[in-house]
Amino acid sequence: MSNTVRIARNTLMLYFRQILIMLANLYALRVVLNTMGVDDYGIYNVVGGVVVMFAFLNVAMTRATQRFLNFELGRNDTEQTRNVYSASLVIHGMIALLVIVIAETAGLWFFYTWLNVPVERQTAAFVVYQLSIAATVTGILLVPYKATIIAYERMTFFAWAGIVESGLMLGAVLLLPIIPFDSLIIYAFLVWTTGIVILMVHKFYCNKTFETACFRFCRDWKLYSRLVKFSGWSLFGQFANVCRLQGVNILINIFYSVTVNAAMGIAQQVNSAVFLFVSNFQTAFSPQIVKSYAAKDYDYFMRLIFQTSKASFFLLFFFVLPLYINADFVLRLWLKDVPDYAVVFTQLILLYSMIDTIASPLNMSIQATGDIKKYQLVVSCFIFTNLPLAFLFLWLGFSPIWALIIKVGLNFITLIWRIFFSSKMINLSIISFFREVILPVVIIAGISILTTIFLCGFFVDWNRLIISCIISTITIGSSIYYIGLNAQERILLKIWINKINFKVF
């Protein structure tokens, strides 16, 4: 099977997965809010966020595991792939123990000293904290199995596993109004038990399917060193990311209330539902980017970076533009009672994600080289700056909206630096990237935004939503075809459409 066909098949499977997951998750959040209430949902977000802050070690190691598995598969080295798998299991087990120790010491101190939780909900919040630790540890142990499945590009199983997970979570949420107990605690418990089931499913599949997914204690200490060293530099970036996301969330809790945390949680859920369409698309491309670099196929490697950056933006823009314009109506339609700040938080986070779609493939390409020291140090500084600036603005009495405005601005600055750094690191042509990616993106976004806003300005509510979806889809689609695609890409698109028509009719 050719790489193009494999990527196309994997992308379609992941899109099917995400549509079902998005519908399940959005409905689940509505049930959770109606059952638990805004304050309890805010408590769950901020308490769980404290635990996630200590799990940044795991996120850094996740990228290392993914990169080394893809690299060894790209070199067709079965023995070394098995060693990477086994070593990653050992390291993730150690990370899980470390997270438990930190969360039960420094985390508990922070929980009782700084979090702004209503007194009458302190006990429930403590139980949720413990269950969040258990859920986080389960997620850490799941990483090597997910990384193996993605490295082998078994996206069919990956898609079905995600659908099963969302189905289990939806079933758990529907049980909340029925179970005669504290819904906040029950929700945290069901999240953890769902994670256990998914861990067992992934473990069984990997052990039965891949010959390299057979644990044996690896004594290649240099491999451990390379994995830890690679993740060590990623550690800076992940720590900065956690500070930007969960740190700002905690700052909002300290200066405001759990109600504002609930608004932030809603905005992040909406963004996750939409952004995962692009994330799945990039997941399908990621193994090929690393493998093409490992195989020294640099022309294909560079072509993938350009295509992934441009296509990722376009795919997300189809969803973001009508949602951004109709954010107030969509949230009212979905949740009925919308917390203050939820609308503007949603709009700003969507804007942030639009910038991130262009940057992610550049990040993948740098990860593929394995030389990430300088890259991570500089990017981490940009990202981490979000926390002290947010603290300063909140301390001075500014609206919590400014925490996200700062986040968007810093992400734009980071994107520009990533482009210039990539020119030195992987010989990326800055002129070509701006001409083939940035310029089409800016032109298409400008045309689509102005056209859609102008033509929808006379309508409200359902009429505005429906008309904006139709107009934005037509405008974006036609702009992409005539401006966003080059001649070769238009030919490939026509061939692909003709093949679909032939199979269907």
Please report, rounded to a whole number, the percentage of residues in the chain having pLDDT higher than 90: 4
Q: Residue 237's pLDDT is what?
A: 66
Q: How far apart are CA 261 and CA 48, in angstroms?
A: 12
Residues 255 and 394: beta-carbon distance below 8 Å: yes
More confident residue, 478 or 51: 478
Hey, what are 120's tokens? 């009458």
Residue type, 40: D
Q: Which of 76-90, 240-254, 259-273, 426-440 has the highest mean pLDDT?
A: 426-440
pLDDT of residue 57: 56
**pLDDT-based confidence at 140, cuts 50/70/90?**
confident
pLDDT at 31: 72
pLDDT given for residue 446 in this prediction: 92
pLDDT of 7-21, one tens digit each?
A: 555 555 555 666 666
pLDDT for 43 beyond 80: no
DSSP category for residue 210: -
**Mind listing the pLDDT tens digit for each residue in 327-349?**
888 888 877 777 888 889 889 98
- As given in the structure block, the two tokens for residue 424 are 């030195």
Reading the block at residue 241, the tokens are: 């990311």
> Residue 280 has what pLDDT?
62
Look at residue 277 in the predicted model and tell me its pLDDT. 65
Domain parsing of the chain, residue ranges: 3-504
State percent of the chain over pLDDT 70: 80
pLDDT tens for each residue of 384-430: 888 889 889 989 888 889 988 998 898 899 889 888 888 888 888 88
Confidence of residue 315 (pLDDT cuts 50, 70, 90): confident
In the predicted model, is pLDDT for residue 373 greater than 80? no
pTM for this prediction = 0.69
Percentages helix, strand, coil for the chain (3-state, rounded to 5) are: 85, 0, 15
The contacts of residue 502 (CB under 8 Å, 6+ apart) are none
C-alpha to C-alpha distance for 438 and 197, rounded to whole angstroms: 43
215: left (phi over 0), alpha (psi -120 to 50) or beta: beta
Is the CB of residue 51 less than 8 Å from the CB of residue 250?
Answer: no
Quote the pLDDT of residue 162: 76
DSSP H stretches of helix in 118-154: 122-151
What is the band of 37 on the pLDDT scale with cuts at 50, 70, 90?
confident
Q: How confident is the model at residue 439 (pLDDT cuts 50, 70, 90)?
A: very high
Which DSSP letter does residue 396 get?
T
